[in-house]
Chain A
Amino acid sequence: MNILKIRGMPAALTAFAGLIIIFIVFGMIDPVVFRTANIQNLLRGMAIYLLIGIGQSFVLITGNIDLSIGSVVGMSAMVSATLMSRGVPVIPAMLITLACCLLVGVLNGLLVGRAKLPPFIATLGTMFMARGVAIMVNGNRNTGLISGETGISSESATTFRNFFYFGSTFGLFNTFWIAMVIFAVFFFILSKTRSGRHIYAIGSNVDAAKLSGVNVGATITKAYMVSAFCAFVVGLVRVAMTGMGFMEAGNMYEMFAVAAAVIGGISPMGGTGILLGTLAGASVWQTLENGLNMIGAQVGIQRLLIGAIVPLAVLIGVTFRRDSSIKLISKWFVPSNKN
């Protein structure tokens, strides 16, 4: 089967092509970019954008949006770090945190899928609520070190931090591998399972899906739960990185997630895009950030250039699509009197 015929593949490949060009250009400016250590760092950074991007992609494909991702990352970091810094062992702390995060996902799903609120409004609300919890949970302060006086033992803290951030396997950081495993699982779910199919169907034509017997509310809730789960993992990564919980962790991540998804060809209108695109989009985003850092660009110019990529990528995508839609429309409307 022709690989280009796979839906969403052309957009994903375009983003990968862009990624390679960007990578090579930066490497030519400063060869340090090509060094193994940098590539290792780059992949670890990319993993974070990929994770939040996967979550946002699930929601975007249903034709909705999740603005609460960044706050759920913050909540995950603060809840888990608070628990661990008070001596709750790693595994129970993680499970409690997971439950809290999934609760936000379920709430989003109920508000958008059942109560039919506009997703922008519903998740704006949960965005503030989750951030509020993140700030409240340790009494309006960042946590101390998770291996502090009252915290977990320094051995288990080290294990936790190595598992999520500092350790590496086969020469690459664990964070990258965790993201890859999660990517593989959700890639499979989205492309090969009934739930995945329903996610596309709802984003494509919610009425048709409903009339075909698809449970729209439940499917949308599933998508928001995937998003919350991914944010949960990123929150843990943040705690592993710093060894403590910051109240502002994950700030703006929901927007980075939209950017990664959209660069990779996931349409915010729903119904199209594949996770491979999100992988490409997250890589483009991180490579730009990394490359600009390496050549010593200031934060302001970094944001400006990276920001320009988002509309540019979509413009390229729209131009591709426009051609085919013009063909399609002319097929519909031009009477075929040729014979």
Chain B
Amino acid sequence: MGDYIVSMENIYKSFPGVKALDGVDFNLRAGEVLALLGENGAGKSTLMKILSGVYTRDAGEMSINGKPCGDISPKQAQELGVAIIHQELNMCRHLTVAENIFLGREKTRGDILLNSQMEAEAKRLLDNLKIDISPRQVVGDLPISKQQMVEIAKALSVNARVLIMDEPTSSLTAKEIDDLFRIIRELKQSGCGIVYISHRLEELQHITDRVTILRDGKYITSMNFNDTTIDEIITHMVGREITEKFPRLSCKKGKEIFSVSNLNAGRLVRDINFTLYEGEVVGFAGLIGAGRTELTRAIFGIDPKTGGEFMLDGKPIYINKPKDAIKAGVVLAPEDRKKDGLCTKLSIRQNLALPNLDILSSRFFGVVSKKKENELCKKAVESLKVKAHDINVDAANLSGGNQQKVVVGKWLARTSRVVMFDEPTRGIDVAAKVEIYNIINELKAQGVAVMIVSSEMPEILGISDRIIVMCDGRITGELIAENTTQNEVMTYATRFESKKSQLEETK
């Protein structure tokens, strides 16, 4: 068809160690709303960042308005009429609404800013969108949802022909979503092409004309929205074959070890209740931003809680800081190994000893016993099969898998009761994954309660006995791993409190 406003063919893009886009095709017509769908890491944001000039492609053809374009900068993309609303807010929080809207293309006489003119224009723009914000307000003082509306206004102010919205509704209220959809329909009428990225599949019916689905950096399919169903879309999104092997160890489910009741900590941890039992691995599934990492952080005492109780082996425990959790035997192997899990500039020995210095040092002067330290490290390195010729090398020099083993090893010297793993196998190779699974199984066999957060669906299904699904800070489902499917998990993971239907009820 000739009326494509954007067409991209055979786009390739790699980041160190990751093939983000692997020959993706993408087309957008003028006057349509296209939903770009896929799981986390499918390549949606990367593709759109290439279109808007944030990234440059490794290979492939791209044309905008029928004209082929080479590598473009964000500014050139803007001039071609491509505007993007990024997933993570990109505002200068110290500047006002009007200043943000006109940032980089201020109206000036000579070099002197014409503030009142810009404020008036911003006001007109906001009024047009029926957004009730003063252009003089400082952006940092606005609630997130309003900041998002400002970002939308900013994108529209450049007279965009192609508007990309990456998860625009994630922080909007029902009323604001309604306004946004009204704006989208108006833009569509005026001939704008709109790319809409969202995990909230139930929203799509209100605006979408067509869907394009990506998976693992590959183009899967494009369909007219009316010719398909949400179930079919989900199948396309997750439909991969499970090729990795998951060693499963069956244990008898024993007594209750750890329970969390009515835990609240911010917007992403709301009314959380669950119990962990001896001899089982509980997987926490959900989309990125569902609140799973925040949950582990709240339990471990990193982030403040606004309420909630913990019971460990039948006794209540109180965790206000990580030290309390470690003392009680509740430990966390965090998501970002290099940032939170390891001191990469210290040796393996120093890393393993760090949380155990209370055991390793003498009572009065705090002198670390070299002998005890050696014993502990030897035990950990041997039992975890850390591949390092010397425990005195920097942790930074280890491979991802071995680093993860050191992170786990830190906690094994203590008699931990609950071990939480946040994305334990992210970025490590298949063989090392299996070794991590074996460690997890070993802990399970020893009667330790194990909790795993993972965004890899096959992993969650393969390694856990029970799956708890979170969405938007709440637990939306609990499933037995053997009796469930990826589609079922995905259904729960996208079960957002339906803002749209709430709105319609109140009408």
B140 contact set on A, CB distance < 8 A? 328
Beta-carbon nearest neighbor of A269 in chain B: B94
B317 within 8 A of A: no
A194 contact set on B, CB distance < 8 A? 106, 108, 111-113
A328 contact set on B, CB distance < 8 A? 140-141, 143
State which residues 97-113 of B face A: CB under 8 Å.
99-100, 103-106, 108, 111-113
The answer to whether B103 and A201 have CB atoms under 8 Å apart is yes
* A200 contact from B86, B90, B94, Cβ within 8 A: B94
Q: How far is the CB of B291 from chain A (nearest CB, A)?
A: 12
B104 contact set on A, CB distance < 8 A? 209, 212-214
A196 contact set on B, CB distance < 8 A? 113
The answer to whether B138 and A209 have CB atoms under 8 Å apart is no
State which residues 60-94 of B face A: CB under 8 Å.
74-75, 78, 86, 90-94
A213 contact set on B, CB distance < 8 A? 74-75, 78, 104-105
B370 within 8 A of A: no
B480 within 8 A of A: no
Q: How far is the CB of B84 from chain A (nearest CB, A)?
A: 8
**Interface residue count for A (Cβ, 8 Å)?**
28
The answer to whether A205 and B91 have CB atoms under 8 Å apart is yes
* A272 contact from B78, B94, B267, Cβ within 8 A: B94
Q: How far is the CB of A300 from chain B (nearest CB, A)?
A: 36
A193 contact set on B, CB distance < 8 A? 108, 111-113
**How many angstroms from the CA of A210 to the CA of B103 in the assembled complex?**
10
B129 within 8 A of A: no
Beta-carbon nearest neighbor of B173 in chain A: A336
**How many angstroms from the CA of A192 to the CA of B118 in the assembled complex?**
13
The answer to whether A205 and B143 have CB atoms under 8 Å apart is no
Q: How far is the CB of B424 from chain A (nearest CB, A)?
A: 29
The answer to whether A208 and B143 have CB atoms under 8 Å apart is no
**How many angstroms from the CA of A333 to the CA of B268 in the assembled complex?**
9
A332 contact set on B, CB distance < 8 A? 143-144, 267
State which residues 167-199 of A face B: CB under 8 Å.
192-197
A149 contact set on B, CB distance < 8 A? none
A338 within 8 A of B: no
A7-B138, A193-B112, A213-B74 known; A200+B95 contact, CB < 8 A: yes
Q: How far is the CB of A319 from chain B (nearest CB, A)?
A: 18
A324 within 8 A of B: yes
B90 contact set on A, CB distance < 8 A? 205, 207-208, 211
B54 within 8 A of A: yes
Beta-carbon nearest neighbor of B139 in chain A: A204
The answer to whether A197 and B54 have CB atoms under 8 Å apart is no
B266 contact set on A, CB distance < 8 A? 333
**How many angstroms from the CA of A211 to the CA of B78 in the assembled complex?**
10
State which residues 141-161 of B face A: CB under 8 Å.
141, 143-144
The answer to whether B103 and A197 have CB atoms under 8 Å apart is yes
**How many angstroms from the CA of A193 to the CA of B115 in the assembled complex?**
10
* B94 contact from A195, A203, A333, Cβ within 8 A: A203
Q: How far is the CB of A104 from chain B (nearest CB, A)?
A: 24
State which residues 209-227 of A face B: CB under 8 Å.
209-214
Beta-carbon nearest neighbor of A204 in chain B: B92
**How many angstroms from the CA of A180 to the CA of B208 in the assembled complex?**
60
The answer to whether B106 and A209 have CB atoms under 8 Å apart is no
The answer to whether A204 and B75 have CB atoms under 8 Å apart is no
A35 within 8 A of B: no
Contact with B along A269-280 (1 / 0, CB 8 A): 001100000000
State which residues 44-64 of A face B: CB under 8 Å.
none
Beta-carbon nearest neighbor of B79 in chain A: A213
A213-B105, A331-B143 known; A271+B112 contact, CB < 8 A: no
The answer to whether A210 and B111 have CB atoms under 8 Å apart is no
Please name 17 pairs of A and B residues whose Cβ atoms are closer than 8 Å in the assembled complex, sorted by A: A7-B138, A193-B112, A194-B108, A197-B95, A197-B99, A201-B99, A204-B93, A205-B91, A205-B92, A207-B90, A209-B92, A210-B74, A211-B90, A212-B103, A214-B103, A271-B92, A271-B95
Known: A201-B99, A213-B105, A271-B93. 6 other contacts (CB 8 A): A200-B92, A205-B90, A205-B92, A209-B103, A211-B74, A333-B266
| Top-9 shortest CB links A-B | A212-B104, A213-B104, A204-B92, A271-B94, A213-B75, A212-B103, A204-B94, A208-B90, A205-B92
